Amino acid sequence: MLAILVKPKGKTRENVLLMWFLSLNAAVSCSFISSPSSRSVSSPCPARSTMEEELPPPQSDLPSPNPSSSIDTTLQKKHQAMLDRLSNRHESRQKTATTSTAIDSTASFLSKFTDSKRSIESLLDNSPNTPDPTLLKSHLANISSSISSLEKLVAESSYFLPSYELRSSLKCIENLKQSLENLNSQLIPKKKFSFKNKSTSKPNPVNSNTNPIPPNPSHIPQSIRDSPGIRNKESQTLSKNFKNFKEIGEFTLSDLNSCEVKLIGCINALFVNRLRNCRVYTGPVIGSILLEEVENCVFVLASHQIRIHCAKSCDFYLRVRSRPIIEYCGGVRFAPYCLRYVGIEEDLTEAGLEEENENWGYVDDFKWLRAVKSPNWSVLEESERIGCVEIEDSGSTEAEVEIEGV
């Protein structure tokens, strides 16, 4: 026992040394008994009596309190909550900015559309009252051009317009076209009257066919005649991959009979002329597609604009940015684009045709100006559709050699 070593009070030096020794011993005992977390606290350890030193040490498996650990956990939770709030606030701001951009674009479109519509209505209401046919035709042509420009504005804005605004705009354009047709009948009635008078002397009955007799084929521009293409083939399977031809412009398919044509990749424009009993599958066309004199064919096409002239008994599977246009056609049917090949999604995105807007089902028949739907075209029933068409780059050397100008 350390208490036995205490000397009488007379020996001061020895007493001081003894007290110092006892204090040092108590401090050492405190360091062994206290936990690691308690040793980090700066408060001094109180002196222990000899009875306290004989107590057994605390069990090591008992959890010792760790205030700094609980504080760290609380701070981490608060920090994570703050980060979550900031992230949610950033996402909310991004959504608000995107919505604001779409709203601004729609508002800008509606402003332009309304101004153009009022201008066209003013031209319709203030038509010149003159017998001069040249002046009347010029006025009507000006109105027709304005309506076409308005229709182009709707086509270019269709990708961001809400469905209600798009349908309303298209309906308004149809009404303007009908008003123009009525005005044309009012301003130039003598032409029809004189034509009837002349025709009475000819006992030649006219068939009441819904399809008017098509005129002679339009003159083919020299640039189309000289463009690369596939011409004058019969009963062949022809394929071409344009991914390695970055500067390809117009491409022509002409005078083909009972052929299957597969075009992979993007081209700027496509001209199709005089095809019979053919199947044509093409990747996206960045510009426009013009088809003339085609019969009993199947076309799978994607383009910003598609115009069909003199087609008979053909099926068209389309993805098109504006409404398809037909003239002098009969028995043509329409369905959505159904082509697949490796890399087609990238090609559609490059051509700006990655979204399906269902314009394939809204066909304008320029030779049917009545209020009821044209009988010259119809939507192809799902049970009669060909389904998804998957093509591969066959690498046929023979087909590559036969293609002119590439």
The closest alpha carbon to 128, from 140, 120, 117, belongs to 140
Which residue has better confidence, 263 or 31? 263
Separation between Cα atoms, residue 167 and residue 112, nearest integer Å: 16
Q: Say how far apart CA 21 and CA 13 lie, in whole Å.
A: 12
Evaluate whether residue 248 is within a structural domain.
yes
Average pLDDT, the chain: 75
- Average pLDDT of the residues in 195-214: 46
Asked whether residue 149 falls in the same domain as residue 19, the answer is no
Q: Confirm whether 260 is domain-assigned.
A: yes
Q: Which of 168, 167, 171, 173 is nearest to 151 (CA)?
A: 173
- CA 312/CA 316 separation, integer angstroms: 11
Q: How confident is the model at residue 198 (pLDDT cuts 50, 70, 90)?
A: very low
The CATH number given to whatever domain includes residue 140 is 1.20.58.1250
- Residues 175-197 as b/e (b if ≥16 CB within 10 A, e otherwise) read ebbebbeebbeebeeeeeeeeee
The predicted structure's pLDDT at residue 403: 58
Helices (H), 46-189: 50-53, 67-125, 133-157, 163-187
The CA distance from 178 to 169, in Å, is 14
In a domain, 287, yes or no: yes
pLDDT digit string, tens, across residues 28-69: 555 544 444 444 444 444 444 444 444 455 554 445 555 556
The pLDDT of residue 162 is 78
**Shared domain check, 7 and 103:** no
* CATH code of the domain containing 382: 2.160.20.70
How many angstroms separate the CA atoms of 395 and 141, rounded?
50
Pick the closest to residue 314 from 289, 300, 294 (CA basis): 294
Q: Is 313 helix (H, G, I), strand (E, B) or coil?
A: coil
Write out pLDDT tens, residues 207-244.
434 555 555 544 455 445 567 889 999 999 999 888 77
**Range of 25-29, 57-61, 99-103 with top mean pLDDT:** 99-103
Identify which of 169, 160, 164, 158 has the alpha carbon closest to the alpha carbon of residue 114: 169
- For position 324, what pLDDT does the model report? 93
Domain extent for 278: 222-402
The number of beta carbons lying within 10 Å of the beta carbon of residue 107 is: 10
Question: Among the three residues 170, 192, 214, which one is the final residue of a domain in this structure?
Answer: 192
Is residue 256 domain-shared with residue 393, that is, in the same domain? yes
What is the band of 88 on the pLDDT scale with cuts at 50, 70, 90? confident
Residue among 31, 30, 6 nearest 17 (CA): 6
| Residue 238 shares a structural domain with residue 369 | yes
* 38: exposed, middle or buried (Cβ count in 10 Å: 0-12, 13-18, 19+): middle
pLDDT digits (tens, 9 = 90+) for 360-405: 999 999 888 777 788 999 999 999 999 899 987 655 444 453 556 5
266 and 380 together in one domain: yes
Per-residue pLDDT tens for 107-137?
888 898 999 999 998 888 887 766 677 777 7
d(CA 340, CA 264): 10
226 lies in a domain?
yes
pLDDT in tens, 305-346: 999 999 999 999 999 999 999 999 999 999 999 999 999 999
For residues 263 and 247, give the distance between their C-alpha atoms in angstroms, rounded to a whole number: 16
In a domain, 339, yes or no: yes
Task: Classify residue 241: in a domain, yes or no.
Answer: yes
What is the mean predicted confidence (pLDDT) over 2-25?
Answer: 55
Q: Do 335 and 290 share a structural domain?
A: yes
Our count of domains for the chain comes to 3
- Alpha-carbon gap, residue 87 to 93, rounded angstroms: 10
First to last CA, the chain: 110
**What is the mean pLDDT of the segment spanning 285-296?**
93
